Structure 1
Amino acid sequence: MDMRDSYNCVLCNTSVEEIIDHLFFQCPFSQSCWSLLNLQIALQAPTLQSLDLLKFELHSPLFKSIFILLCWAIWTSRNGFIFEGIQPTVDGCCRTFKKELDLLQHRVKIKYKQHLEEWLNRFP
């Protein structure tokens, strides 16, 4: 059976159904990616409550962008594996996240530029 025909999570290679909560919050791969930001996901909390906790922990005016870009990096890691056979790694996810943060510099408001530069400097 082709992995594109399955609903199981390809990132953690288990028979857990790949629903949004699992893919972005509960999957061990995703949790490792969130730990790049020194964040721990509240696994038992409902999704909206997890988002509120993340917002509080990040304490950043760029919370939405940071959240969306890390989710995008996780998603592209997943798709890279499914469609191109590229093994997902936390380092690869981090590179994608940093690349997207770098692109964000071109459209972020001037008052947030320094804050974004501080975020970019966190990653090698």
Structure 2
Amino acid sequence: MHHIRALEESYREHCPGTLETIAHIFISCPRAQGVWARLGINVGVEICHYPWLAGLELQLPRATHLDVITLILWHIWKARNAVIFDQHTMTLQMVLRRILNDMDSWKTRYKQYDQEWEAWRLFLSSYG
């Protein structure tokens, strides 16, 4: 892997003493774990390389599944960057609300799956 810093060069405000890797950011960081747990999604190392395998237990149409997982990953990444670059810690509810806002923006893309999309959106909004 490129650009991974040695432990002594890697500083994680929320996870001091932890080497920041892709697996840490998206899987083992307690903040990422909180998002996955709240959504009832079991993740493992596969999410870093095969995100379409994550969240198969969700009741999402196949055509929307990867987009929802990608949105979740994107907002975990953005929450990490907010801490590093803006010194702003996003709560779990803030991350979920941002996912929800993007889902609202994407709604017109999934008109044929409107009921399933809306059901998952309502599920998500109950946590955000």
Q: TM-score, normalization: structure 2?
A: 0.75
Q: Secondary structure at the match of 2:56?
A: helix
1:47-62 map, 5 Å: 47=47, 48=49, 52=53, 54-60=54-60, 61=62, 62=64
CA distance in 2, matches of 1:15, 1:76: 21
1:37 is displaced (CA, Å) by 1.4
1:26-78 alpha-carbon deviations (Å, 9 max, x no partner): 11110100112112324xx55557852x2422252221011100011111111
Any unmatched runs of 5+ in structure 2? 1-8
Report 1:13-24 matches (<5 A).
Answer: 13-24=15-26
Write the letter of the residue equivalent to 2:116.
Answer: H
Count matched residues: 114
Taking structure 1 as reference, are residues 50 and 111 closer, same or farther at Cα in structure 2, changes over 3 Å only? closer
What is the CA–CA distance in structure 2 between the aligned matches of 1:98 and 1:113, rounded to whole Å?
Answer: 15
User: What are the residue-to-residue correspondences of 1:96-115 with 2, within 5 Å?
Assistant: 96-108=98-110, 110-115=111-116
Letter in 1 for 2:57: E
Please give the root-mean-square deviation of Cα atoms over the aligned residues, in Å.
2.2
Q: Which runs of 4+ in 1 moved over 6 A?
A: none
Query: Which residue, 66, 86, 92 being the options, matches 2:94?
Result: 92
Q: 1:39 aligns with which of 38, 41, 54?
A: 41
Distance 1:50 1:71, change over 3 A: closer
Letter in 2 for 1:56: L
Alignment gaps of 5+ in structure 1: 1-5
Q: How does 1:67-78 map to 2 (within 5 A)?
A: 67-78=69-80
Q: Could you say which residue in structure 2 is the equivalent of 1:117?
A: 118
The sequence identity of aligned pairs, in percent, is 24
